[in-house]
Amino acid sequence: MSAPGDGSSRTGSAAPDTIYQFDHKQGVVQKIDEDMRQLVQALAGGTPIIITTLQKFPFIAETLEKLREEDHPGIAISTKNKQFAVIVDEAHSSQSGESAMDLKGVLNAGRLQEEAAEYLVNQQLDSDEDADHLAGVVREMMKRAKQSNLSFFAFTATPKYKTLKVFEEPGPTGQAPFHLCTMRQESLLRTV
Protein backbone atom coordinates (compact mmCIF):
# COMPACT_ATOMS: atom_id res chain seq x y z
CA MET A 1 0.00 0.00 0.00
CA SER A 2 1.14 3.45 -0.67
CA ALA A 3 0.08 6.34 1.46
CA PRO A 4 -0.69 9.25 1.62
CA GLY A 5 -0.02 10.61 -1.89
CA ASP A 6 -2.96 10.29 -4.21
CA GLY A 7 -0.91 8.98 -7.07
CA SER A 8 -1.16 12.11 -9.16
CA SER A 9 1.43 14.65 -10.07
CA ARG A 10 -0.58 17.30 -8.19
CA THR A 11 1.10 16.25 -4.95
CA GLY A 12 4.56 15.90 -6.47
CA SER A 13 4.50 12.29 -5.31
CA ALA A 14 5.68 9.87 -7.94
CA ALA A 15 5.84 6.75 -5.74
CA PRO A 16 2.30 5.37 -6.39
CA ASP A 17 2.64 5.74 -10.15
CA THR A 18 6.14 4.25 -10.09
CA ILE A 19 5.02 1.23 -8.08
CA TYR A 20 2.06 0.66 -10.39
CA GLN A 21 4.32 0.72 -13.45
CA PHE A 22 6.32 -2.28 -12.24
CA ASP A 23 5.73 -5.35 -14.35
CA HIS A 24 2.88 -7.23 -12.70
CA LYS A 25 0.22 -9.83 -13.30
CA GLN A 26 -3.45 -8.94 -13.33
CA GLY A 27 -4.90 -9.15 -9.82
CA VAL A 28 -1.56 -8.80 -8.02
CA VAL A 29 -1.36 -4.99 -8.03
CA GLN A 30 -4.43 -2.80 -7.82
CA LYS A 31 -4.34 0.98 -7.94
CA ILE A 32 -7.33 2.43 -6.11
CA ASP A 33 -8.34 5.29 -8.36
CA GLU A 34 -12.13 5.11 -8.26
CA ASP A 35 -13.82 5.04 -4.87
CA MET A 36 -13.95 3.43 -1.42
CA ARG A 37 -15.78 0.38 -2.75
CA GLN A 38 -12.77 -0.44 -4.90
CA LEU A 39 -10.46 -0.32 -1.85
CA VAL A 40 -12.76 -2.43 0.35
CA GLN A 41 -13.18 -5.03 -2.39
CA ALA A 42 -9.41 -5.18 -2.94
CA LEU A 43 -8.78 -5.68 0.80
CA ALA A 44 -11.59 -8.23 1.14
CA GLY A 45 -10.41 -10.07 -1.97
CA GLY A 46 -6.85 -10.34 -0.66
CA THR A 47 -5.18 -8.32 -3.42
CA PRO A 48 -1.47 -8.58 -2.53
CA ILE A 49 -0.41 -5.04 -3.52
CA ILE A 50 -2.80 -2.13 -3.15
CA ILE A 51 -1.88 1.43 -4.04
CA THR A 52 -4.11 3.94 -2.29
CA THR A 53 -4.16 6.98 -0.06
CA LEU A 54 -4.06 7.06 3.71
CA GLN A 55 -7.11 9.30 3.82
CA LYS A 56 -9.42 6.49 2.69
CA PHE A 57 -8.92 4.27 5.75
CA PRO A 58 -11.26 6.13 8.15
CA PHE A 59 -14.18 5.30 5.83
CA ILE A 60 -13.62 1.56 5.38
CA ALA A 61 -16.05 0.37 8.08
CA GLU A 62 -18.83 2.56 6.69
CA THR A 63 -18.22 1.37 3.12
CA LEU A 64 -18.12 -2.27 4.24
CA GLU A 65 -21.53 -1.85 5.86
CA LYS A 66 -22.98 -0.22 2.72
CA LEU A 67 -21.66 -3.04 0.52
CA ARG A 68 -23.21 -5.64 2.86
CA GLU A 69 -26.58 -3.89 2.72
CA GLU A 70 -26.52 -3.58 -1.06
CA ASP A 71 -25.18 -6.59 -2.91
CA HIS A 72 -22.33 -8.22 -0.96
CA PRO A 73 -23.85 -9.62 2.27
CA GLY A 74 -20.84 -11.76 3.23
CA ILE A 75 -18.04 -9.31 2.40
CA ALA A 76 -15.39 -9.05 5.11
CA ILE A 77 -11.77 -8.02 5.49
CA SER A 78 -9.69 -10.68 7.18
CA THR A 79 -6.29 -9.68 8.51
CA LYS A 80 -5.66 -12.80 10.58
CA ASN A 81 -2.13 -14.15 10.07
CA LYS A 82 -1.39 -11.55 7.38
CA GLN A 83 1.63 -9.29 7.15
CA PHE A 84 1.47 -5.87 5.50
CA ALA A 85 4.17 -3.60 4.12
CA VAL A 86 3.02 0.01 4.05
CA ILE A 87 5.02 2.26 1.75
CA VAL A 88 4.62 5.86 2.82
CA ASP A 89 5.50 8.69 0.49
CA GLU A 90 5.84 12.20 1.89
CA ALA A 91 6.06 10.68 5.38
CA HIS A 92 6.90 14.00 7.00
CA SER A 93 3.25 15.00 7.07
CA SER A 94 1.10 11.93 7.57
CA GLN A 95 2.04 9.38 10.18
CA SER A 96 0.95 10.82 13.50
CA GLY A 97 -2.71 11.59 12.87
CA GLU A 98 -6.01 9.75 13.11
CA SER A 99 -5.87 8.48 9.53
CA ALA A 100 -2.64 6.60 10.30
CA MET A 101 -4.32 5.09 13.36
CA ASP A 102 -7.31 4.07 11.23
CA LEU A 103 -4.96 2.34 8.77
CA LYS A 104 -3.47 0.34 11.66
CA GLY A 105 -6.97 -0.48 12.91
CA VAL A 106 -8.08 -1.82 9.54
CA LEU A 107 -4.93 -3.80 8.76
CA ASN A 108 -4.82 -5.36 12.23
CA ALA A 109 -8.52 -5.50 13.14
CA GLY A 110 -8.56 -9.18 14.06
CA ARG A 111 -5.66 -8.98 16.47
CA LEU A 112 -6.93 -5.76 18.06
CA GLN A 113 -10.31 -7.42 18.64
CA GLU A 114 -8.67 -10.51 20.18
CA GLU A 115 -6.39 -8.50 22.46
CA ALA A 116 -9.24 -6.27 23.65
CA ALA A 117 -11.32 -9.38 24.49
CA GLU A 118 -8.32 -10.90 26.29
CA TYR A 119 -7.90 -7.68 28.29
CA LEU A 120 -11.56 -7.85 29.40
CA VAL A 121 -11.12 -11.47 30.51
CA ASN A 122 -7.96 -10.57 32.44
CA GLN A 123 -9.85 -7.72 34.11
CA GLN A 124 -12.69 -10.17 34.92
CA LEU A 125 -15.30 -8.08 33.14
CA ASP A 126 -18.36 -9.68 31.63
CA SER A 127 -20.06 -8.65 28.40
CA ASP A 128 -22.18 -5.81 29.74
CA GLU A 129 -22.33 -2.33 28.24
CA ASP A 130 -19.38 -1.02 30.31
CA ALA A 131 -17.21 -3.91 29.13
CA ASP A 132 -18.11 -3.19 25.49
CA HIS A 133 -17.19 0.47 25.97
CA LEU A 134 -13.91 -0.48 27.67
CA ALA A 135 -13.08 -2.92 24.84
CA GLY A 136 -13.54 -0.05 22.37
CA VAL A 137 -11.20 2.15 24.40
CA VAL A 138 -8.60 -0.63 24.57
CA ARG A 139 -8.78 -1.14 20.77
CA GLU A 140 -8.28 2.61 20.23
CA MET A 141 -5.24 2.62 22.52
CA MET A 142 -3.75 -0.43 20.84
CA LYS A 143 -4.09 1.14 17.37
CA ARG A 144 -1.55 3.74 18.50
CA ALA A 145 1.04 1.12 19.43
CA LYS A 146 3.45 -0.71 17.15
CA GLN A 147 1.67 -3.45 15.19
CA SER A 148 3.65 -6.66 14.74
CA ASN A 149 2.04 -7.43 11.36
CA LEU A 150 2.77 -4.01 9.85
CA SER A 151 6.10 -2.84 8.44
CA PHE A 152 6.37 0.80 7.42
CA PHE A 153 8.78 2.01 4.75
CA ALA A 154 8.72 5.78 4.61
CA PHE A 155 10.18 8.31 2.21
CA THR A 156 10.57 12.03 2.71
CA ALA A 157 12.94 14.68 1.49
CA THR A 158 12.14 16.93 4.44
CA PRO A 159 11.97 14.94 7.69
CA LYS A 160 10.40 16.84 10.55
CA TYR A 161 11.13 16.19 14.21
CA LYS A 162 7.94 14.15 14.73
CA THR A 163 8.69 12.06 11.61
CA LEU A 164 12.05 11.11 13.05
CA LYS A 165 10.40 10.15 16.35
CA VAL A 166 7.91 7.87 14.58
CA PHE A 167 10.44 6.12 12.34
CA GLU A 168 13.71 6.38 14.29
CA GLU A 169 13.40 3.09 16.14
CA PRO A 170 16.75 1.31 16.09
CA GLY A 171 16.96 -1.80 13.93
CA PRO A 172 18.80 -5.07 14.67
CA THR A 173 22.19 -3.34 14.36
CA GLY A 174 21.20 -0.68 16.89
CA GLN A 175 21.14 2.00 14.20
CA ALA A 176 18.03 3.84 13.07
CA PRO A 177 17.02 2.69 9.56
CA PHE A 178 17.56 6.07 7.91
CA HIS A 179 19.37 6.56 4.65
CA LEU A 180 20.39 9.95 3.39
CA CYS A 181 20.82 10.87 -0.22
CA THR A 182 21.90 13.96 -2.09
CA MET A 183 19.40 16.05 -4.03
CA ARG A 184 20.92 14.63 -7.23
CA GLN A 185 20.32 11.05 -6.05
CA GLU A 186 16.78 11.95 -5.01
CA SER A 187 16.00 13.36 -8.47
CA LEU A 188 17.37 10.18 -10.06
CA LEU A 189 15.10 8.11 -7.81
CA ARG A 190 12.07 10.08 -9.01
CA THR A 191 12.88 9.32 -12.64
CA VAL A 192 13.33 5.56 -12.16
Q: Which amino acid is at 139?
A: R
pLDDT at residue 14 in the model? 61
pLDDT at residue 6 in the model? 37
The pTM (predicted TM-score) of the whole model is 0.67
DSSP state of 3: E
Nearest C-alpha neighbor of 147 from the set 180, 105, 188 = 105
pLDDT at residue 115 in the model? 86
**Could you tell me the mean pLDDT of each successive run of 10 residues in the chain, 192 residues long?**
39 59 70 89 89 86 89 87 82 68 88 86 73 83 86 76 73 75 65 50
d(CA 65, CA 83): 24
